Amino acid sequence: MTRTRRGFTLIEVIVATLVTSVVAGSVVGMVEAFRAAVAVQDLRSEAIVRGAGVQSHLGLLALKTRMTLSLSPQRILLWLPSETLSTSGTGSDTEFDLINLLNDELHWLEFLQDQDLSWTLIEWTVKPGLVPSGASTTYFSSDGEFWDSLFVQLRDSEMLRRSTLASGLDGPQLAGGSASPPKFVWQTASTCENRSLGAEFAFVADDGTGPLRSDLRVESALAFFDRHPICSEE
Amino acid sequence: MTLIECLVAMALVVVAAAIMSSAVRDGLAAQEDALALTLGGTAAESRVAEYLAKPYASIAAADATENVGAMTTPQGGAFSESYSRFGRRTIVSERSLTVPDFPGLSIPGYLIQVTVSDLWDGTERKIVALQRFRPRTIEDEIAAAAAGTP
């Protein structure tokens, strides 16, 4: 004996299809929102961690920096003396004046633009082994151009070590939406007077729907700012 | 599978998706708070750095408030868009520090207190509070003597 099984009615099928499409639509929407939220979350996490890293490194440099020798929006030069503070305090030319390239006393920080137009924050330090013994020291100068030409000379001679502090950067977005290149900030452009250093930049990532950005501004005071005797004579 | 079973299954899917979405939203809110903490910290540090860097003689006792979206950098410029949700209060007061192991020793200076807040559901919420002491150093005293100020 066969038993015939009643199929779905047209109304049931239509209702089921309708409900299925509504549910599918909302689930797809949620998944999309989920994906976008995770992308934003990732960028923020990365910005927090990388921003804290840059802030920490700049803070450490500010702690050790005696003076900022050269200041421009995309490149600054820090002088981190290697002699002890008690020796520095004598004001003796031989100890205080001399900047020893072999002792990691000069640190250039530079924002460089890459081919994809994003910016990278670079730290340049001298490679001690490559500097000829006759050129291992230099004397203090408050002339920024002197330091710029030394930088070019050392960089072109491949005597500088390049370390990347942060990449994928852009400039900060100001109120109104206009963006500018990333830049260093300081209290005053005078080498003899400046007692702070900082930077303004933004971390940028693209999640496929458009760029996501997180601006950051870090600034630190030079903890042991110590003016060179020449500054008092100027 | 009956229609009822199918509908129940769909309802379960919707509930699961809603729970997942809510978890992500909470995670995002936590990240937002962490980012606010980072940005608020840098805004407070910026103000402290300004007071530690400026000439001692130019510091004076003050109690200044910058409203939300009106903070300015030490250089007088505007903060970028990310900082537009923050406001800041700076209190500078004369203070002398005593050192417990050195009776009679008193170090004059300024106490710099900076608080950064934002608006959370329309009410002000304190995010970061920093305070630093700027001592009056021997160099500051020499500079004051040279300038003829006490």
Report how far residue A35's alpha carbon sits from residue B61's, in angstroms, rounded to the nearest whole number: 51
Confidence of residue A198 (pLDDT cuts 50, 70, 90): very high
Alpha carbon of residue B121 to chain centroid: 19
- Provide the token pair at A163: 């370390």
Put simply, whether A38 touches B (Cβ < 8 Å) is: yes
pLDDT score of A164: 94
Report how far residue B79's alpha carbon sits from residue A215's, in angstroms, rounded to the nearest whole number: 10
Tens-digit pLDDT profile for residues A24-41: 888 788 778 777 777 777
CA angle B70, A63, A155 (to 5 degrees): 100
Report how far residue B26's alpha carbon sits from residue A35's, in angstroms, rounded to the nearest whole number: 14
Closest in B14, B53, B78 to A195, CB measured: B53
Cβ <8 Å between A216 and B42: yes
Choose from B3, B12, B24 for mutation: most chain A CBs within 10 A: B24
At A179, is the secondary structure helix, strand, or coil? strand
pLDDT score of A190: 86
**Residue A226 above 90 pLDDT?**
no
Confidence of residue A94 (pLDDT cuts 50, 70, 90): low
Give me the amino acid identity at B63: D
Q: Against a cut of 0.80, is the pTM above it?
A: no
- Partnered with residue A162 across adjacent β-strands are A124
Pick from A57, A76, A56: nearest CA to A67:
A76
Pick from A68-77, A94-103, A113-122, B137-146: least confident: A94-103
Phi, psi values for residue B27, rounded to 5°: -60, -40
Confidence of residue B146 (pLDDT cuts 50, 70, 90): confident
Confidence of residue A90 (pLDDT cuts 50, 70, 90): very low
Cβ <8 Å between B28 and A12: no
Mean model confidence pLDDT for chain B: 86
CA A21 to each of CA A24, A26, B4, B29: distance values in angstroms, whole numbers, following the listed order: 5, 9, 16, 31
Which residues of chain A does B74 touch, with a Cβ-Cβ cutoff of 8 Å?
A: 185, 187, 196, 219
- Provide the token pair at A6: 């009643």
Buried b (16+ CB within 10 A) or exposed e, A109-143: bbbbeeeeeebbbbbbbbbeeebeeeeeebebbbe
pLDDT score of A44: 74
Pick from B79, B23, B16, B126: nearest CA to A41:
B23
User: In chain A, positions 176-215, which contact chain B (CB-CB < 8 Å)?
Assistant: 177, 185, 187, 194-196, 198, 200, 202, 214-215
Alpha carbon of residue B50 to chain centroid: 14
B101 or B41, greater pLDDT:
B41
At A88, is the secondary structure helix, strand, or coil? helix
- Residues A61-79 have a mean pLDDT of 91
Tens-digit pLDDT profile for residues B54-110: 888 899 999 999 999 899 988 888 888 888 889 999 999 999 988 888 888 888 999
- Residues A123-146 have a mean pLDDT of 80
First to last CA, chain B: 92
Mean model confidence pLDDT for chain A: 82
**Residue A89 above 50 pLDDT?**
no
B80 or A70, greater pLDDT:
A70
**Residue A98 above 80 pLDDT?**
no
CA dihedral A126, A131, A136, A140 (to 10 degrees): -40
**Residue A175 above 70 pLDDT?**
no
Nearest-CA distance from A40 to chain B in Å? 8
Closest in B13, B38, B82 to A52, CB measured: B38
Name the one residue in this structure whose structure tokens are 């007077």.
A193
pLDDT score of A206: 73
Interchain CB contacts (distance < 8 Å): A and B: 127
**Residue A75 above 80 pLDDT?**
yes
Q: Within 10 Å of residue A65's Cβ, how many Cβ atoms?
A: 26
